[in-house]
Structures are given as structure tokens and as C-alpha cells.
Amino acid sequence: MPPRHFLTGTELTAEELDALLDRALELKREPLSSNALAGRSVALIFEKPSTRTRVSFDVGIHELGGHAVVLRSDELQLSRGEAPRDTALVLSRHVAAVGLRTGADAILEELAAYSAVPILNMLSAGHHPCQALADLLTLREACASLEGVRLAYIGDANNIARSLALLGSLAGVHVALASPAGYALEDDLALPASARGSVTRYTDPYEAVRGAAAVYTDVWVSMGDEATAAERRSALAGYRVDDALLNAAAPGAFAMHDLPAHPGEEITPEVLYGARERIWDQAENRRHAQKALLEWLVA
Ligand code: CP
């Protein structure tokens, strides 16, 4: 049987996503209750910097009884031209799963094509599905059921926006994205066949947040976008999450951010460190959601 992979998140059915979030809540309550990785190792390859992803996977794998082999890509022969295919064939002989953070979705796809063990996306140019799992877990904790919940995403429709659209709609969430021209999510994004929610695009952030239970944002200058930082800051200046925008959302609405944040740009310090955020819960939930994901991948 071919291994399961997790490249975009749409490898999950709606039912599997529900079950994975249920399991993540169980693991959050009892972090040491699973030995799913006992005696097994997971390779984690980072081509880009990371704080949350690296720590949450490393600690989560340890809590599952396993061992994390954390590798910087410049330590691997990949950086000297060894083919992703050969890397996949070799790693498959040693570890139970391989995670990769990369700028190139094509490398993930090539690893997945040749690996005998699950490949998981720890952030790519196109997707950040592990972050979206943690975000849905955070929404579930706040809203009990995800079916029909409205989540507003404000700003650059980057990899995390795409993953929220794909996985959120699969979970039954209505995702409202507000972005300026040139920074919007592609019109032809195909939602999963079993999506129960929806994705709607706006340019006005105040329209997007109307009725939203949560208001999400991300940095204006993502990793790799540094060359266009000035024009991005100019284009996205009207897309800051502040108290006024939160006030326009549903009563009790809270702020979300995948971090790292640039307070004063996409989010105000008052919101980031205020009473209406669940941002630090999101950061913690990376570990619980990813442990449930690892269980599903190696099952
Ligand atoms: N949100 C996120 O992926 O954080 P890191 O880049 O620190 O891993």
C-alpha cells in the first residue's frame, strides 16, 4: 500500500479531518497518552528558518515516543545536487516519516512520488497545512463546532491563506478573504470535493469581517518576499488588524495570527497582546494537531 502524504491537506477527507481534530483535543488533554512513534524516527528538513514548526514537531515526536532527526538542508547532500528522488529512497530506509520546509512545492511532490514513508509539508511556497490544522483546532476550542463558522482572513493571500481556504472549507468553515488587488487568492483555487464550507473574496476588510467569529492575519512580507517589501507595505497598509476591525466582527470575535508577527504592521500591539487574541493558543496547538497528524500518517 502506498504511504499517506500531507502536502496540501486535501489528502484528508472531511471525516478524517474531523476525526484528526477530535484526536488532537484528546492528545492536548493527555499529551503522553500515545506511543504511536515508539522506537521510530522522523526526519525534519528545514530549508528555511523556523521557531514554532521546529519546536512543536521535535517535542511532539518525543511525546509520541519517537525520535526527531532535525536537519538543515545545507547539511544534506540535497544542497550539493543529490536528487530529491534519491534522498527519498534513502530516508525511507531509516525513518517513519519525513517533514520538509521548502520554497519549492515541486520538491515535496518529488519526495512524495518516490518515498516509501509519509512526506509532510512543514511550509512551502504554496501551502502551510500544518498551521491550518492548528488554526482549525483553535477555532474548534472557541466555537465548539466548525460547521458554519465564519473566519475572516485579512491581508496577503499567501500560503497560509490558501491552506485556510482549503482545510477550512473542508471543515465546514466559511472563509472570507480580504486582500488588495495583486495580493488576492487565485480565482481558480479548487476546493476539496467534500468541502462543506465556502471561500469568498473581498477587497474591503470591513465587509470580510462582518459576522466573523475570528479575524486572522499574517505578515505583509513573507519569507522570500523581501525584495518587494516596500511595495507590499504600501499595498497592504489598509489591511491591519486593529481594535476597530475586531469591533466590526461578530460579538466576542478574536484575533488569530500564525506568527511571527510584525506588531504595528499587519496587527497592532494592542490586539496581539490584548484580551481578544487566541494567537498564543494557535502556537501551542501546532504540537497537538501535528501529533494527531503523525498518528494518522503512520497508522
Ligand atoms: N507559523 C510558523 O510556521 O512559524 P515558524 O516559521 O516559526 O515555524
Q: Which of 45, 51, 138 to mutate to test the pocket of ligand 1 (most atoms within 8 A of CB)?
A: 51
Q: What is the pLDDT of residues 37-53, one digit of tens each?
A: 999 999 999 999 999 99
- DSSP 3-state of 120: strand
Residue spans per domain, the chain: 14-127+286-298, 130-282
Q: Is the CB of 158 under 6 A from ligand 1?
A: no
C-alpha cell at 290: 501535528
Q: Which residues 6+ apart lie within 8 Å of 87 measured at CB?
A: 76, 77, 78, 111
How many angstroms does the Cα of residue 283 sit away from the middle of ligand 1?
Answer: 9
- Tell which atom from ligand 1 comes closest to the C-alpha of 283: 1
Q: Distance, CA 7 to ligand 1 centroid (Å)?
A: 16
Task: Answer yes or no: same fold for 14-127+286-298 and 130-282.
Answer: yes
State pLDDT tens for residues 218-255. Answer: 999 988 889 999 999 999 999 999 999 999 999 999 99
State which amino acid sits at residue 91: L
Which atom of ligand 1 lies closest to the CA of 48?
Answer: 6
CA–chain centroid gap for 191, Å, is 16
pLDDT band at 144 (very low <50, low <70, confident <90, very high): confident
- 3 state DSSP class of 119: strand
pLDDT band per the 50, 70, 90 thresholds, residue 199: very high
Q: Which CATH superfamily is domain 14-127+286-298 in?
A: Aspartate/ornithine carbamoyltransferase (3.40.50.1370)
What SS3 class is residue 134? helix
Superfamily of domain 130-282 in the CATH hierarchy? Aspartate/ornithine carbamoyltransferase (3.40.50.1370)
Residue-wise pLDDT for 50-89, tens only, equals 999 999 999 999 999 999 999 998 999 999 999 999 999 9
The three three-digit cell numbers of residue 150, written as one number:
465564519
Which residues does 214 contact at the CB level (< 8 Å), separation at least 6?
A: 139, 142, 149, 151, 152, 249, 253, 254, 255, 256, 278
Dig out the grid coordinates for 194 from the structure: 467534500
Q: Would you say the CB of residue 50 lies under 6 angstroms from ligand 1?
A: yes
CB of 257 sitting under 6 A from ligand 1: no
Position in ligand 1 atom list of the atom nearest CA 51:
7
